A and B are shown apart, each in its own frame.
Chain A
Amino acid sequence: MAFINHAAKEINCKIVYYGPGLCGKTTNLQYIYTKTAEERKGKMISLATETDRTLYFDFLPIDIGTIHGFKVKFQLYTVPGQVFYNASRKLILKGADGVIFVADSQEERFEANIESLENLQENLIENNLSLDTIPYVLQLNKRDLPNIVPVEELVQELRYKGEPYFEAVAIQGLGVFETFKACAKQVLQTLR
């Protein structure tokens, strides 16, 4: 749950981007970083290996404006997608206010998406959270590639609870802000 700071008149919320390795979680954050005005963003931190694979997490703080006199800030995190980094993934989900699942639309990643989604639910439960209750959005990424699974099939397999879903090409920015906004809106609704 969020941190409501009456002294600083600020509210801080945490959104975590989840999904299988190389699905485009970091790319989502990088696009948001490049398109957000200087005064609205902090430094983006990427704890990555020498080959640019996420090792621990990426972090991007953004300030989306003021509501009823309170500054609304979101902290965006990604998890490392590779299977063997599960211990780190679990830590990053702690205290999450919302989750975005980035699915890789390519046929050969179909199983990896399903496994990652199951892993997400397991790790949420270990953090006393659940997909059933947490604000949640599904993103179908890499829609520009040739060997992709049809949207209907992905939705049928991956959509968990009727959450909003968006087709995306994160590397070109398509669907990136739509996904983020949909999740951020759900988070703000829970603050009422």
Chain B
Amino acid sequence: MALPDFVMYEEEYKKLKEIIERLKEESGSKIVFLVDKNGQQIAGAGDLGNIDATSLASLTAGNVAATDGLAKLIGEKEFSLLFHEGERDNLHISIVGKRGILVVIFDNKATLGLVRLRVKKASQELEKVFDMIEEKVKKQAGDSKEYESPFAEITEDDIDKLFGDI
């Protein structure tokens, strides 16, 4: 198949996860999420049990996309940071590289200043991992520019079976 929008491998996933776990600890926040700009969840750290991660990812991406649109309307390239302040919890949303969005949920045990500082550092590290993934996909594809899909071998039959019970 042609190069997909986004591929994640085990090795890089571990690296991303490590970075956001560390960000959560060092910033004193409750939850850190990494999602992609199309609304797919990439990785999470913290107490994720009580949160609907899929909805969070899609709403965050929608929020970032709308804000991007607003930026362009007034002649800005992008607004790289969104901050929502609540009574108890706050949301810090920032853009990482070309395709990542970092979401940090924190309460009054952390401060906005510290979160911003740690996010900045983590973003640089995350961006490097994203670059590594891009390189890896390109390398795997080689000159043919074809990505070797894990679905290369699927048949019509496999697809039909998949829809058998919905």
Contact = CB atoms under 8 A, between A and B. Distances in A.
Interface of A: 1-8, 11-12, 14, 36, 40, 42-43, 45, 47, 56-57, 59, 61-62, 64-70, 72, 75, 87-88, 90-92, 94-95, 177, 181, 184-185, 188-192
B52 interface: yes
B166 A189 contact: no
Contacts of A92: 62, 65
Interface in B1-56: 1-10, 12-14, 36-40, 42, 52, 54-55
Contacts of A185: 159, 163
Contact of A191 (B36, B40, B149): B149
B150 interface: yes
A73 to B, nearest CB: 9
B159 A188 contact: yes
A97 to B, nearest CB: 9
Contact of B38 (A14, A87, A88, A191): A14
11 contacts: A7-B9, A14-B39, A42-B52, A42-B54, A64-B163, A68-B150, A91-B68, A94-B65, A95-B5, A191-B151, A192-B153
B162 A190 contact: no
Contacts of B163: 64, 181, 184-185
A99 B119 CA distance: 36
B128 to A, nearest CB: 17
Which of A7, A47, A61, A75 has the largest count of B CB atoms less than 10 A from its CB? A7
Contacts of B1: 190-192
Nearest to B152: A192
Interface residues on B, range: 35 or more
Contacts of B37: 94-95
B82 interface: no
A102 to B, nearest CB: 20
Given A14-B38, A43-B55, A91-B62, A68 B8 contact: no
B154 A188 contact: yes
B59 A8 contact: no
A173 B108 CA distance: 48
Closest 5 CB pairs of A and B: A7-B13, A95-B38, A1-B5, A91-B65, A191-B151
B74 interface: no
A40 to B, nearest CB: 7
Contacts of B158: 67-68
B154 A192 contact: yes
A24 B145 CA distance: 39
Contacts of B151: 11, 67-68, 70, 188, 191-192
Contact of A72 (B2, B8, B153, B162): B162
